[in-house]
Structure 1
Amino acid sequence: MSKRVVITGLGVVAPNGVGLTEFTKAIKSGKSGITFHQNLKDKGFSCCIGGIPEVSEEKISEYLSPLQLRGFNSTSILYGVMAGIDAWKDAGFAVDENSKIDYDSGIIFGTGTSGIEKFREAIYKIDDQNVRRLGSTSVVQTMASGISAYLGGILGFGNQVTTNSSACTTGTEALLMGFERIKNGKAKRMLVGSSSDSSLYTWGGFDAMRVMTYKHNESPEKGSRPMSETASGFVPGSGGGALVLESLESALERNATIYAEVLGGNINSGGQRNGGTLTAPNAEAVQKCITDAIADANISADEIDVINGHLTATSKDALEIENWTKALNRKGTDFPYINSLKSMVGHCLSASGAIESVASVLEIKEQFIFPNINCEDIHPEILNLISEAKIPSKIIEKNVHILAKASFGFGDVNACVIFKKYSK
């Protein structure tokens, strides 16, 4: 018999708020975390704005020891460790380096790239004849599984400890992978999430692709404009998000706080066919991902109250809305409310699914719908599909019972998860 899976802990390191308290305040008030960065301008970037979490050296020392920080230069690992530890503590567990191995708990924590700055720092100092001088600290910081390796050692987990990587769907995919493991009885708890670094060497490639906005260097907070007619490309962001998934049985046994329930979801690919490419979605596959997620959750499309979309502030926003209307068979005023966290934090790349899932779960737990900022001029193609009232520009206090969160990523890959307000 499959297990019910609930969420008992959250952690977040976002451009507009580090920690649950600050992040919750930020998304309720529509606070932007997008700022101007002189170093981007100095390096010749066309887009000189971005979302970078504000983390002090003092704050970092609360999570990593002096030994771990020796030669450390990976914001992806840092953000993931911070979010992961916060989520674990939020779930009511202690962090003890001398704890016994916990074979009931595991980690699936994703990233897109890890330690590019560290690798660049290391290779800059050597030539091809001195490769061994990369240094011992470069290995764990540059391997993709570095984030789960750090967290696994800090927390002493003995169940599956691994890393996934699926571009912008990474965080949502990690959540669904952890959900399946608990549902099938292979773990009691899974710490899931994803992180993304704020490296010039990550952002530089996107700037070269000309998919980032260059029109708001003088007005950074106005730069990220999902669903807007004046959207001119995405704004890069970074950070980390983490969730503790747990079997309902385990959560009730220890009287844990339950934020929400994970009803089900789906992961698929468009195969880069039928209009899908490395960078564009196959609309048919996107719609199938959504409808299959709804079927897996054993609900009807009419029960969805809110959609937390992928919505990147690019030309594909209208297509995403169209895909939702077709998948749900709901239009106009019958369409659910929809929002995009990217309006406040930018596109946090591989971290986006996790950070946005944390925001989604907070909406369910605290019964509100966060606003879309920079959306005063909704794209007319979107208004032809859904009512303007369904794209809130101010916070709405509302009974949020069921929420759908989706992510669509490079490589024509898709993931959709269905969250529900917990009830016995």
Structure 2
Amino acid sequence: MNKRVVITGLGVAAPNGVGIPGFESAIKEGSSGITFHEKLKELKFSCQIGGKPQISEEKIKEYFTPLQLRGLNSSGLIYGVIAGSDAWKDAGLEFSGEEEPDWDSGIIFGTGILGVEKFRESIHLIDEGKTRRLGSTSVIQTMASGISAYLGGILGCGNQVTTNSSACTTGTEALLQGFERIQTGKAKRMLVGSCGDDGPYVWGGFDAMRILPGKYNDDPEKASRPMSATAAGFVPGSGAGALVLEELDSALERGAEIYAEVLGGEVNSGGQRGGGSMTAANNKAVQRCIKAAIKNANIQASEIDTVNGHLTATGGDVAEISNWKDALQSGKENFPYINSLKSMTGHCLSASGSIECVASVLEIKHNFIFGNVNCEDPHPEILELINAERIPQQTLEQPVQILAKASFGFGDVNAVIIFKKY
């Protein structure tokens, strides 16, 4: 018999809030974390804005030892360690002792690319014949699994400790993988999440593709406009989100606070066929993913009252709404409320799914639906599909019973997860 899985801890390092209290306030208030970056202007980027978590050196010292701090130059790693450690503490869990790991706890923490600045620093030293100056942490800061390795050592987890990577679906996929491990009895709890680096060496490729907005450099907070008729491309972002998943019996036994229940989900791919490509989704695959997630969660489509979409402020937004409508078989009036966190954070790439899952769980726990900032002019093709009132511009204070969260990524890959109020 499958185990029930609940969420007992949250952590976040987002452009508009580091730590759960600040982040929750920001999404309720519609506060943006998108800012102008002088460095991008110097490098002649078309898009000179982005979302980057604001973390002081003093704050970083709270999470890393003096040895780890020596030569530390990986923004994604920093964000992931902060979010993951905070989630573990939020769940009321202790770090394992020195002699014995916690065999029942594991980690699946993803990333798209890690340690870009460290790579750049290392390449210069090697080219100059100064290899010995690389330091002892250069490898762990630049290997993709460095984030799960760091967190595994800090927390002392003895179950599966690994890193996944599936472009923008990474965080949502990690959550589903952790859910399945607990559901099948292979672990009692899993720390899941994802992180991503920031800066010109991560964002440059997207600027070269001309899919970032170039006309909002003087007004960064207005730039990210999911579902808007004036959307001009996605704003790049970064950060990390983390969640502690736990077997329900274990959570009840230790009296843990429960944020929400995970009912199930689905991952699939469109195979870059039937209209799908490296950068575009196969609409049939997206609809299949949504329908399978609903079936796996053992609910009816009509029970979903809120959707937290992928919705990046690109031409794909209309297609995504159409896919949801077809998969849910809903009318214009009874379509669920839908929102996109990217209006406040930008598109945090590999970190987006986990940060947005944290936001979704907060909505369920605290009975609100955050508003869609910068969507005062919904796209007319979207309004042909659903009523404008289903796209709230201001935060709605009301219960959320069942929420569907989706992430779609480069390579034509999809992930949908279903959360329920516990």
Identify the range of structure 1 (289-298 vs 392-401) with the bigger mean alpha-carbon deviation: 392-401
Q: Helix, strand or coil: the match of 1:265?
A: strand
Which position in structure 2 is the counterpart of 1:44? 44
Which position in structure 1 is the counterpart of 2:191? 191
Give the 5 Å matches for 1:16-415. 16-95=16-95, 98=98, 100-127=100-127, 134-415=134-415
Q: CA deviation at 1:136?
A: 2.8
Task: Write the distance in 2 (CA, Å) between the matches of 1:13 and 1:125.
Answer: 30
- Identify if the C-alpha distance between structure 1 residues 124 and 294 changes in structure 2 by more than 3 Å, giving closer, same or farther: same
Q: CA deviation at 1:149?
A: 0.3
Task: Write the distance in 2 (CA, Å) between the matches of 1:6 and 1:68.
Answer: 33
Residue pair 1:309, 1:407 contacting (<8 A) in 2 also = yes
Residue pair 1:88, 1:244 contacting (<8 A) in 2 also = yes
Residue pair 1:230, 1:377 contacting (<8 A) in 2 also = yes
Task: Write the distance in 2 (CA, Å) between the matches of 1:51 and 1:130.
Answer: 34
Task: Write the distance in 2 (CA, Å) between the matches of 1:286 and 1:133.
Answer: 48
| Residue-by-residue CA offset, 1:166-214 (whole Å, 9 max, x unaligned) | 0000000000000000000000000000001113111011111111110
Q: Helix, strand or coil: the match of 2:403?
A: strand
Task: Write the distance in 2 (CA, Å) between the matches of 1:239 and 1:107.
Answer: 18
- Identify if the C-alpha distance between structure 1 residues 198 and 213 changes in structure 2 by more than 3 Å, giving closer, same or farther: same
Q: CA deviation at 1:97?
A: 6.0
Residue pair 2:68, 2:137 contacting (<8 A) in 1 also = no
Residue pair 2:125, 2:131 contacting (<8 A) in 1 also = no
Residue identity opposite 1:395 in structure 2? T
Q: Helix, strand or coil: the match of 1:191?
A: strand
Q: CA deviation at 1:133?
A: 5.6
Residue pair 1:48, 1:217 contacting (<8 A) in 2 also = yes
Task: Write the distance in 1 (CA, Å) between the matches of 2:19 and 2:278.
Answer: 34
Residue pair 2:236, 2:349 contacting (<8 A) in 1 also = yes
| Residue-by-residue CA offset, 1:240-296 (whole Å, 9 max, x unaligned) | 000000000100000100000000000000000000000000000000000000000
Q: CA deviation at 1:98?
A: 3.1
Q: CA deviation at 1:354?
A: 0.1
Identify the range of structure 1 (328-337 vs 164-173) with the bigger mean alpha-carbon deviation: 328-337
- Identify if the C-alpha distance between structure 1 residues 99 and 300 changes in structure 2 by more than 3 Å, giving closer, same or farther: farther
Identify the range of structure 1 (197-206 vs 178-187) with the bigger mean alpha-carbon deviation: 197-206
Residue pair 1:111, 1:164 contacting (<8 A) in 2 also = yes
Q: Helix, strand or coil: the match of 1:236?
A: coil
Q: TM-score, normalised by structure 2?
A: 0.98
Q: Helix, strand or coil: the match of 1:364?
A: helix
Q: CA deviation at 1:410?
A: 0.2
Residue pair 1:8, 1:246 contacting (<8 A) in 2 also = yes
Task: Write the distance in 2 (CA, Å) between the matches of 1:63 and 1:401.
Answer: 35
| Residue-by-residue CA offset, 1:317-345 (whole Å, 9 max, x unaligned) | 00000000000001311100000000000
Residue identity opposite 2:360 in structure 1? S
Structure 2: tracts of 5 or more residues without a match: none
Residue identity opposite 2:320 in structure 1? E
Identify the range of structure 1 (197-206 vs 250-259) with the bigger mean alpha-carbon deviation: 197-206
Q: Helix, strand or coil: the match of 1:330?
A: coil
Q: CA deviation at 1:129?
A: 6.6
The runs of at least 4 aligned residues of structure 1 exceeding 6 Å deviation read none
Task: Write the distance in 1 (CA, Å) between the matches of 2:60 and 2:330.
Answer: 46
Task: Write the distance in 1 (CA, Å) between the matches of 2:263 and 2:135.
Answer: 45
- Identify if the C-alpha distance between structure 1 residues 96 and 182 changes in structure 2 by more than 3 Å, giving closer, same or farther: closer
Task: Write the distance in 2 (CA, Å) between the matches of 1:18 and 1:414.
Answer: 27
Task: Write the distance in 1 (CA, Å) between the matches of 2:215 and 2:226.
Answer: 15
- Identify if the C-alpha distance between structure 1 residues 58 and 132 changes in structure 2 by more than 3 Å, giving closer, same or farther: closer
Q: CA deviation at 1:130?
A: 6.4
Q: CA deviation at 1:124?
A: 1.0
Q: How many residues align?
A: 422
Task: Write the distance in 1 (CA, Å) between the matches of 2:196 and 2:152.
Answer: 18
Q: Helix, strand or coil: the match of 2:123?
A: helix
Residue identity opposite 2:314 in structure 1? T
Residue identity opposite 1:284 in structure 2? K
Task: Write the distance in 1 (CA, Å) between the matches of 2:269 and 2:128.
Answer: 39
Residue pair 2:312, 2:347 contacting (<8 A) in 1 also = yes
Residue identity opposite 1:92 in structure 2? G
Task: Write the distance in 2 (CA, Å) between the matches of 1:320 and 1:124.
Answer: 43
Residue identity opposite 1:307 in structure 2? V
Residue identity opposite 1:367 in structure 2? N
Q: TM-score, normalised by structure 1?
A: 0.98
